[in-house]
Amino acid sequence: MEAFGDNEGWMRFDLTDLRLFIAVVEAGSISQGANAAHMALASASARISGMEAVLGASLLERGRRGVVPTPAGRTLLAHARIVTAQIERMRGDLGAFASGLKGHIRMLSNTAALVELLPAAMRVFLTAHPDVDVDIEERTSADIVAAVAEGRAEFGLIADSAETGELETVTVAEDRLVVLLPSQHPLAENPSARFVDLLDQPFVGLSAGALHSHLADQAARLGRRIGYRVRLRSFENVARLVEAGIGIGILPLAAAQRFHSDTLRIVPLADQWARRHLAVCAPDFTLLSRHAMALVDEIVRQGQAPLERPRTVPNTPLAT
């Protein structure tokens, strides 16, 4: 790989250097960054030291809790993100003409989009683009906005309740949060429920992720905490334990409707923050790589497509 620099060899950083440096800063650790860059720790350390030696300045502040970029490191990071983003855009634009040219997309998603939209969209997209790899990371909507604005991802899928600043957005689909209850629960016949009125109930929820963080934030604003009896890794397991009477759960409507049972009820959350839409955000959609724009288009298409199963009427048993 040709390095970037003049003929005297000053500041000759190649793409591997730049990608490694981005990974190290984002991980806050040289070892974790090396792992993300698929590089041995010794090689990664040598590359970082070599970059600092060539530049004649420290790029990272090393401490007991990891590493953070120095002022010089922050400057390099900003340029490295621009360079690597342009390389991916070039690959996407040239993909129609070249064979064997691999593309890479980095995107972020909140929990609802990761569960509801991305599986179908990725199936279609990756089948149509076997030469493209996609790196997806789950974050909260607020974290996604910050990361996309800083160039840490090409685009993100967020709840439209997030403050997006100068990012461009395209609305994709409805993302309404509902309460999933056993059919015999005292609240099962209510037309709706307020979040504050649920906080004395035992909950079944996800062990981590954007939705977990979002609900925790909403409870904290009320000066409360959610009392989880059990936390799990999938919506399906949450639904099964709710069905067993272990507790109540809060899920996206589309996810709740996937679990067929005549012993469950769906009750809408009455809070305004629970009535959301999913949106794609990016700094400038016209500057996305051809591959990234194709994936955005497929996500939007999936969001506008009808559900495979008819929607149930809230506060009724899930359709079978």
pLDDT digits (tens, 9 = 90+) for 22-53: 999 989 999 999 998 899 999 999 999 999 98
Q: 177-191 burial, b for 16+ CB within 10 Å, e for fewer?
A: bbbbbbbebebbebe
* pLDDT tens sequence across 94-151: 765 565 557 889 999 988 888 888 999 999 999 999 988 899 998 888 899 999 998 8
Listed residue (302, 320, 173) closest to 257, CA to CA: 320
Helix 41-55 / helix 71-94 crossing angle, nearest 10 deg: 110
Q: What is the pLDDT of residue 242?
A: 96
> What token pair was written down for 132?
């493209």
Its pTM surpasses 0.85: no
Q: What is the CATH number of domain 174-273?
A: 3.40.190.10
b/e map 50-64, b = 16+ CB within 10 Å: ebbebeeeebbeeee
Which CATH architecture is the domain 100-173+276-304 placed in?
3-Layer(aba) Sandwich (3.40)
Helix (H, G, I), strand (E, B) or coil at 5: coil
Specify the higher pLDDT residue, 289 or 101.
Answer: 289
Nearest CA among 59, 19, 58 for reference residue 39: 19
Q: What is the pLDDT of residue 162?
A: 84
pLDDT in tens, 163-221: 899 999 999 988 889 999 999 999 999 999 999 999 999 999 988 877 888 899 999 99
260 in Cβ contact with 319 (< 8 Å): yes
What is 15-85's CATH number, 1.10.10.10, 3.30.450.20, 3.30.70.120, 1.10.3720.10? Answer: 1.10.10.10
